[in-house]
Amino acid sequence: MKKLLILSGKGGTGKTTLAGAFVRLGRVGAFADCDVDAPNLHLLYLDLPTPKTSDYYGMGVPEIDTSICNGCGICEAHCRFHAIEVQKGYAYCDSFACEGCGLCEYVCPQHAIKMKPNVAGRTMLFTSTKENVFGMEGEISNSNSNDAIIIMDNPVERSRVVFSSAELKMGSGTSGKLVSEVKKNLNDSADEKETLAIIDGSPGIGCPVIASITGMDMVLIVAEPSISGISDMQRLVDTAAFFGVRIAICVNKADTNPQRTEDVRIFADSHNIPFLACIPYDENVLVATNSGKSIVDLGGLAADAIKTIFSQVKEYVFMER
């Protein structure tokens, strides 16, 4: 099973829109939402089955036994996250500042501190034997454009469709670890006959993004034609390239700033990164999203471009390196 991850650097460039469209176009039976901080892909499916959920345990938080603690402050002195403070003679932990390293437990001479498991979110695994639950039945709307490509090839004779997702409790850290669990759930539960998995990523370049990149066959970067968008894209390319993963770039809302779209193309060319088709600004995208549909079901200029991009992506992701 090849894995395609969709990233952007800057938020709001259209990652989830593309992920949903690819799932629909390719009748993809294994997909995931790794944006555990602000998951949205599930909103495209109005009729989801009840998921199998599991509590996600973060790093654990210290539990301080005040009947033993003598307020010596050794824990406070060692904590580099300023999460422990001695107040009124006892150590007190700010669980939001705590990163769960467990050093306080180790250094406490009174053995008053025990690290306690801490629920920091939950994973959700949606499984169905029916493809239509994920909007995959029926014809994809054809649009007026002549060069639109309809991609509904080699349907897999699968036993189930799986969608792996998660939600991080607000204010929690360690989102990278939860991202790894989402990926693991997808891997473990996907039908072995699947050839392609689509993974929706998170914005930024830090911990959750790095956790999502490992093990991917390809990263598709959805860029935005603005000075900010280009700066963020360059930082993401730098990050993804470090992990040696294959990269391709497409531009969304390309016609809103043709000059900056050209800048993205020049950047891609100079870094030998495939520059895929450009998606025009299309009001249908918002209409589709707000009615729980994929843009390719509604059709239009953006849908046409996304179809082209999907056929290009498939070529790259299955290509031998």
Which residues contribute to the site for another protein (CB under 8 A)? Answer: 8-13, 16, 37-38, 40, 43, 59-60, 78, 80-81, 96, 99-103, 106-107, 168, 170-173, 175-176, 202-207, 209-210, 224-229, 231-232, 235, 238-239, 242, 256-257, 260, 286, 289-290, 292
- Local structure of 220: helix, strand or coil: strand
CA distances from 83 to 68, 92, 99, 111, 147 (A): 19, 8, 8, 18, 59
- Local structure of 235: helix, strand or coil: helix
**What is the smallest separation between the CB atom of 289 and another protein, expressed in angstroms?**
5
**What is the smallest separation between the CB atom of 101 and another protein, expressed in angstroms?**
3
Looking at the Cβ atoms of 104 and 218, the one nearer to another protein is: 104
**What is the smallest separation between the CB atom of 160 and another protein, expressed in angstroms?**
26
Q: Find out whether 94 and 101 touch, Cβ atoms under 8 Å.
A: no
Q: Find out whether 126 and 165 touch, Cβ atoms under 8 Å.
A: yes
**What is the smallest separation between the CB atom of 252 and another protein, expressed in angstroms?**
10
Looking at the Cβ atoms of 136 and 288, the one nearer to another protein is: 288
**What is the smallest separation between the CB atom of 193 and another protein, expressed in angstroms?**
31
Looking at the Cβ atoms of 29 and 201, the one nearer to another protein is: 201
Looking at the Cβ atoms of 107 and 151, the one nearer to another protein is: 107
How far is Cα 89 from Cα 226, in angstroms, rounded to an integer? Answer: 54
**What is the smallest separation between the CB atom of 133 and another protein, expressed in angstroms?**
18
CA distances from 12 to 40, 155, 224 (A): 11, 31, 9
Looking at the Cβ atoms of 285 and 313, the one nearer to another protein is: 285
Q: Which backbone phi and psi does 256 adopt, to 5 degrees?
A: -75, -20
**What is the smallest separation between the CB atom of 35 and another protein, expressed in angstroms?**
8
Residue with tokens 């650097």: 9
Residue with tokens 């467990």: 102
How far is Cα 59 from Cα 56, in angstroms, rounded to an integer? Answer: 10
Looking at the Cβ atoms of 175 and 312, the one nearer to another protein is: 175
Looking at the Cβ atoms of 13 and 294, the one nearer to another protein is: 13
CA neighbours within 13 Å on the CB side: how many for 192? 0
DSSP 24-53: HHTT-SEEEE--TTS--GGGG-TTPPPPEE
